[in-house]
Amino acid sequence: MKYKRANLLPNIGTWELNLKTGILDWDFVTKTIYEVSEHYFPNVESAINFYAGPDHRERIMLLTQQLVATGESFIEQFQIITSKGNAKWVESSAEAEFENGECVLLHGTFQDITAQKNLLDTLHLNEEKFQKAFEFAPIGMALVSPEGQWIKVNKQICKITGYIEEELMSLTFQDLTHPEDLDKDLALVGQMLNKEIDNYEMEKRYFHKKGHVVWVHLTVSLVRNNEGLPLYFISQINDITEQKKASEELQRERQRLFQTIEGTNIGTWEWHIKENFIVYNERWAGIIGYTLEELSPISKNTWNDLVHPDDVEISEIALEKCMSHETDFYECEYRMRHKTGDWIWVHDKGKVIDWSFDNKPILMLGTHADVTERKNSEQELKNTLDLVSEQNKRLINFTHITSHNLRSHTGNFQMLLTLLLEETEESKKRELTEFLLTIANDLQETIHYLNEVLQIQTNLNQQVKKIHLFNEIEKALTNIKGSIEEALATIHVEVPQNLIIDYSPEYIESILLNLLTNAIKYRHPGRKPVIHIRTHKVEKYIILEIEDNGIGIDLNLHGQKLFGMYKTFHTNKDARGLGLFIIKNQVDAMGGKIEVESEVDKGTTFKVYIKNQ
């Protein structure tokens, strides 16, 4: 409760009713007056039921309705029955706050005046007791003539006004009353004299003897003689100057905060920790695409339901550090589910502003800011840096491969040229020349494949299109139809016809052709080839599986070099050791990965991980 910060008097409680959320909040003093536990969570209905009898209940409801409709504050006395069954007299004040012409908040004070009520009863029964109680009452008390002349005052009134008793006796209450409050005061006096009301109370200003203003809470009743003629007024006066100053400062602070928040487009939250409920502003709900009404009823579970499951723990850890005084502020960035279903990033920051006597957090305030755009920019930058880093690694690796392969060929060239220069027989020279031609052809082929790999390595931003994977598989099977029929192979395609991937058309064609031709090329001699092509989704990937029943690969022997350049694992005369090397580079370039499962004489399964955009 923000209003309770204004309570500087230990015997005056405060309350606040948020008309937007329907949440009624009592401070500790108010709960003490009602004799309920500090963990008690009131609502409007239960609060009204504490009032004694239908008269008091109807009166408080009528005044509240008038306050909401007109904004006219009130100060009234009521009798209540506490939760322990004790009857008490209380004095309740109420004020309203409006936004755009609509009443959104009620707040006020709550004071146990049972002692004062009993004191007034005693005055009528026992004059001697009245004199003592009157003189030493903790509040200001006075007897005032119907004309406004002070008849009798106690020490507390002298203290409040700064005048000694003799000085006050020469003045009227009109002399001390602020001009802006006098008309209302006199009007209420007139109503009492005319028997329209029995008593009244109001907040008003007196001028202190030193000239400054003193705010008081005034309660007035009228004593009449047996004939019903007015004898004197009995006035009870409480000095509420400090309370008013605190209330006004709080109001200014709230207004400044409201203006600041409106200017920054930030959401706010107010967590009443003991009662375990949270008050959000409209912007907080707007950040995630909702209105407060759509999120009602609002509690801490509202937050729990919207936060990304992976981010709950980091937020709870940051919160616990703040609540245990390990940090001054709670601060965390996490994802929340927008009404559209998308995840947005928020920067959440708060601070505990109220602690209990045993150092437990009571009230925490905080703000929410949408930082999705910044987080996306940071992720894009990270992706770019990762891309550059990966490209550098690939180029370094490519340099090593190129150097190794070219050195091998140039070494052979050098050796054969030396032999050719030294050889004298023509037949030997022709033989060496044929060797040189073979090596030249091999070098040309090597350069071709190296260029192909270089193209992959240096073009990581390969053009990506939306591709119907089923259609690409059908196209690849058509291209190798002759090999399929020759091998008497059976193909099972278990891929949804509407499955769309974001991929390079050239790469997916190369991957499918290489893996399918390998499945046929390395078939088992003792059985007909059976090939399964299937897909399934795992987290952020679509996995393309190509499974065969071929001769298999000894992964214990060849697993580490499976995707290396010029690495072969069978005696097939057509094996070049380039297909898997190229596939691996293509898959990596598209942000995926490739895995293999294989068992000798049983078959092999290749799994290509395709990013699911």
d(CA 257, CA 272): 19
- Average of per-residue pLDDT values in the chain: 83
pLDDT at 481 over 50: yes
Share of the chain above pLDDT 70, in %: 80
Q: pLDDT tens, 348-372?
A: 998 888 887 678 888 888 888 889 8
Identify the residue with better confidence: 207 or 128. 207
Task: Kindly report, residue by residue over 60-93, the tens digit of the pLDDT.
Answer: 999 999 999 999 999 999 999 999 999 999 999 9
> Do 48 and 57 meet the contact criterion of CB atoms below 8 Å apart?
yes
- pLDDT for residue 173 is more than 50: yes
pTM above 0.85, yes or no: no
What string of DSSP letters covers 409-422? HHHHHHHHHHHHHH
- CA-to-CA distance for 543 and 157, rounded, in angstroms? 87
Distance CA 560, CA 566 (A): 14
Cα 590 to Cα 580: distance, rounded to the nearest angstrom: 15
Write the pLDDT tens digit of every residue in 534-571: 999 998 899 999 999 999 888 877 545 666 554 444 44
In order, the DSSP letters of 445-496 are HHHHHHHHHHHHHH-TT---EEEEHHHHHHHHHHHTHHHHHHTT-EEEEE--
- The answer, yes or no, to whether residue 8 has pLDDT greater than 70, is no
Instruction: Report helix, strand or coil for 35.
Output: coil
Yes or no: say if 284 and 268 are a contact pair by the CB < 8 Å rule: yes
Query: Is 583 within 8 Å of 594 (Cβ atoms)?
Result: yes
| Residue 147 or residue 62, greater confidence | 62
Show the domains of the chain with their CATH numbers.
3-112 (3.30.450.20), 116-245 (3.30.450.20), 265-370 (3.30.450.20), 376-446 (no CATH), 465-611 (3.30.565.10)
Work out the average pLDDT over 106-133: 73
Structure tokens at 477: 């099977």
H helices present in 503-599, as ranges: 505-521, 555-558, 579-589
Residue 429, pLDDT score = 72
Residues whose CB is less than 8 angstroms from the CB of residue 30 and which lie 6 or more positions away in sequence, other chains included: 13, 14, 15, 110
The DSSP element (H or E) to which 350 belongs, if any, is strand 343-355
